[in-house]
Structure 1
Amino acid sequence: MDIRTFGELIDWTRDLHQNLASCLGHCATANEEERAKALLEYLSSHEAELARIVDEFERQSARNTLETRVYDYLKHNPIETHRTCDQPYAKLDFQGIYGEVMDFHGQVMDLYKTLWEKAEIPEARELLAALLEMEQNESMRLARQIGRMDDL
């Protein structure tokens, strides 16, 4: 996707979370380890919820902010994720799945932080700060929940 505006950035991020949700859900049926299956199912629902939350940012943001150009995006390293789901998570164990998903969230946070640091328009900075805060809070919540699952 060619990202030119903050609205397109939000769409792209939402689609990344939705794609990850679908992939995790699909892989849950193919993973043979029970703990990994449970984790994949939980993560799938969590990522679908994140896609919904990110979508709300677009609904609640001012049109002029969404239409603001994102010039520095192309200079940022693209987020690496399994864009086509050929069942990569079906072959991973609990810790491998956890590491991959947390790495994904780390990349999203790095992107938001990089863009926030370079944003010159206050409304764009506010939007990126809110997206970054949401991603950080959800990552911490995810880490706590997965930590509890790992304790069982």
Structure 2
Amino acid sequence: MKVQTISDLIDWTRMMHHQLAESLADGSTQHEQEMTKLLLAYLADHETALERIIEGFEQQADSKALKTWVYDYLGREPVDIHRSCDAPFAEMNFDEICGRVFNVHNQVIDLYRDLLARADILEAQELLKELLATEEHETMRLAQQTNRMRDM
């Protein structure tokens, strides 16, 4: 998908969370370790919930903000969910799974920060701030929950 506007970016982010959720869910059915299965299932559910949250932004955002062009700021696909590792989740251990998921979330956060720093239109700035805050909050929540699971 070619990202040209903030609307495209939101749609792409939603689809990225959807794809990540599917990969995590698939790994949860195939993994051999019970605790890691639980982690994968939890992460898949979290990504599905985040997909719905992101979808809500597109439905409620200011149309001027949604039409703001970001094409000039992106030279490639915004986030590569396979950048940190090409192995399937079913073959990873607890820490590798967490590392990969947090890598993806951190890439999204960095992207939103970069776009926010370049945004000229107030409506676009506000929307990007909300998207950034959501991704940061959800990543912190994931970190807390995965740390609790690790301690079990």
Determine if the TM-score, normalized by the shorter chain, exceeds 0.5. Answer: yes
Q: 5+ unaligned residues in a row in structure 1: which ranges?
A: none
State the secondary structure of the residue aligned to 2:30. Answer: coil
Map of 2:118 onto structure 1: 118
Question: What number of residue pairs does the alignment pair up?
Answer: 150
Distance 2:6 2:98 in 1: 29
Q: 5+ unaligned residues in a row in structure 2: which ranges?
A: none
Q: Cα offset for 1:70?
A: 1.1
Map of 1:32 onto structure 2: 32
TM-score, structure 1 length as denominator? 0.93
State the secondary structure of the residue aligned to 1:72. Answer: helix
Q: Please, which moves more after superposition, 135-144 or 87-96?
A: 87-96
Map of 2:103 onto structure 1: 103
Instruction: Give yes or no for the alignment of 1:58 onto 2:58.
Output: yes
Answer whether contact 2:28 2:37 (CA < 8 A) is retained. Answer: yes
> 1:60-96, CA deviations, whole angstroms, 9 ceiling, x for partnerless residues?
101221111113332367411149xx87101000011
State the secondary structure of the residue aligned to 1:75. Answer: coil
Map of 2:136 onto structure 1: 136
Distance 2:78 2:5 in 1: 16
Q: Over the residues paired in the alignment, what is the CA RMSD in angstroms?
A: 1.7
